[in-house]
Amino acid sequence: MDPETRIAQFRKLIEQDPTSDMAYFSLGQALSQAGRFEEAGQAFEKCTELNPAMTKGFQLAGAAFMAAGQDERAKDLLKRGYAEATTRGDLLPKKAMADLLTQLGEPVPEVTDGPAEPKPSGDFKCRKSGRMGNRLPRPPFRTGVGRWIQENISRETFDEWIRLGTKIINELRLDLSRDEHDAVYDYAMRRFLGIDDTLYSDLMDGRTPPPIDPQFRDVIDEIMKRGGHLEEFQGDMHTRVR
Structure confidence by residue, pLDDT tens digits, 91-131? 888 999 999 999 999 999 988 665 445 555 678 999 998 88
At residue 58, the pLDDT reads: 96
What is the DSSP secondary-structure string of 142-185? SSHHHHHHHHHSBHHHHHHHHHHHHHHHHHHT--TTSHHHHHHH
Element (H, E) at 125: strand 124-125
SS3 179: helix
Give the CATH number for residue 220: 1.10.3880.10
What is the number of residues in the chain?
A: 242
Which residue range forms the structural domain that includes residue 31? 3-103
Closest C-alpha among 25, 63, 10, 24 to residue 175 = 25
In a domain, 117, yes or no: no
Q: Are residues 129 and 234 in the same domain?
A: yes
- How many angstroms separate the CA atoms of 182 and 123, rounded? 33
Question: Residue 69's domain is classified under what CATH number?
Answer: 1.25.40.10
* Strands 124-125 and 132-133, sheet pairing: antiparallel
Other beta carbons within 10 angstroms of residue 12's beta carbon come to 10
Bridge-partner residues for 124, per DSSP? Answer: 133
Q: Which residues fall within 8 angstroms of residue 116, CB to CB, at 6 or more apart?
A: none
Q: State the CB neighbour count (10 A cutoff) for residue 152.
A: 18
| Tens-binned pLDDT, residue by residue, of the chain (242 aa) | 677 888 999 999 899 889 888 889 999 999 999 999 999 999 999 999 998 888 999 999 999 999 999 999 999 999 999 999 888 778 888 999 999 999 999 999 988 665 445 555 678 999 998 889 999 999 998 899 999 999 999 999 999 999 899 889 988 889 988 899 999 999 999 999 999 999 999 999 999 999 999 999 999 998 888 776 555 454 455 555 55
Which three-class secondary structure state does DSSP give residue 160? helix
Are residues 88 and 140 both part of a single domain? no
80 vs 125: CA distance, rounded Å = 34
- As for how many domains the chain has, the answer is 2
- Whether 133 and 230 map to the same domain: the answer is yes
Amino acid at 78: L
Burial class, 162, CB count within 10 angstroms (exposed 0-12 / middle 13-18 / buried 19+): middle
**Confidence (pLDDT) at 122:** 79
Q: What is the pLDDT of residue 16?
A: 87
Whether residues 134 and 230 fall in one domain = yes
CA distance 161 to 163: 5
- Find how far residue 118's CA is from the centre of its chain: 22
Maximum CA extent, the chain = 54
Q: Whole-angstrom Cα distance, residue 48 to residue 64?
A: 14
